[in-house]
């Protein structure tokens, strides 16, 4: 067990599992007070609210660096004002599991924009997967040689698609693969100088992709 402080920022994405039924639902952390309680958004099940009642036992999971965290809790209250949200008991402890390598999440909505260091030009590039440590990018042109740097501009999860989060990265390897009559360049990039806000965004983005995959299954 880790210490009892969640050490999470409000707005981070979490996964909720009800009564260990194997299904996980994306929720958002709205707030917490150590020792008192946790407040989350109401979970969605394929665009329908998952039915929760006071007394229901739930498990909350989230990612942090190369670790996966989980804690058990119980619903204490369902509130409807100013909008529907759920109150949980504060966990007595948090389980942490180290992973052998950073978890990579496949990306479905994969078109992103790169802001290149040389001249500030932008390219539309396909992102295949993402982790806290880096990403796999596919482009019709070579984005750079090993060791070269550029920035990824990713749209936030807010309704305003004009807002972006900038992730500085460095090319670690490049390979060429034949796709039909043309060649595609596959790049492995490592994120560098990523601050806490950017890491929280990556965590929310991965949780969003995971929940979307569950909704399509």
Homologous superfamily (CATH) for 13-98: Electron Transport, Fmn-binding Protein; Chain A (2.30.110.10)
| The pLDDT value given to residue 56 | 92
pTM score, two decimals? 0.51
**Contact call for residues 135 and 106 (beta carbons, < 8 A):** no
| The pLDDT value given to residue 39 | 95
| The pLDDT value given to residue 217 | 47
Q: What's the longest Cα–Cα distance across the chain?
A: 61
Instruction: List per-block mean pLDDT (blocks of 10 residues) for the chain, which spans 217 residues.
Output: 66 80 79 92 70 90 72 93 92 74 56 56 77 84 86 70 78 82 84 77 74 53
Please, what sign has the CA dihedral across residues 28, 32, 36, 39?
A: negative
| The pLDDT value given to residue 15 | 84
| The pLDDT value given to residue 196 | 72
Which residues of the chain are in CATH 2.30.110.10 domains?
Answer: 13-98
CATH of domain 105-216: 2.40.10.220
Which residues of the chain are in CATH 2.40.10.220 domains?
Answer: 105-216
Cα 210 versus chain centre, distance: 8
Q: Are strands 95-98 and 67-79 parallel, antiparallel or unpaired?
A: antiparallel
| The pLDDT value given to residue 23 | 76
Choose among 19, 16, 68: nearest CA to 40.
16
**Contact call for residues 21 and 212 (beta carbons, < 8 A):** no
């Amino acid at each position: 067990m880790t210490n009892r402080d969640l050490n999470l920022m409000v707005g981070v994405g979490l996964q909720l599992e009800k009564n260990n039924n194997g299904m996980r639902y994306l929720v958002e952390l709205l707030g917490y007070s150590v020792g008192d309680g946790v407040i989350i958004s109401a979970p969605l099940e394929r665009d329908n609210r998952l039915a929760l009642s006071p007394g229901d036992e739930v498990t909350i999971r989230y990612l942090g660096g190369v670790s996966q965290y989980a804690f058990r809790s119980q619903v204490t209250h369902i509130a409807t004002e100013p909008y529907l949200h759920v109150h949980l008991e504060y966990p007595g402890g948090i389980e942490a599991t180290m992973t052998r390598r950073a978890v990579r999440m496949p990306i479905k909505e994969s078109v992103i924009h790169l802001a290149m260091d040389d001249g500030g030009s932008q390219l539309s590039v396909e992102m295949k997967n993402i982790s806290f440590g880096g990403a796999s990018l596919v482009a019709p042109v070579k984005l750079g040689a090993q060791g070269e740097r550029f920035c990824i501009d990713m749209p936030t999860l807010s309704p305003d698609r004009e807002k972006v989060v900038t992730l500085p990265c460095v090319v670690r390897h490049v390979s060429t693969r034949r796709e039909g009559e043309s060649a595609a360049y596959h790049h492995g990039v490592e994120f560098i100088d990523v601050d806490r806000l950017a890491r929280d965004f990556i965590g929310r983005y991965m949780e969003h992709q995971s929940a979307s995959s569950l909704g399509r299954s």
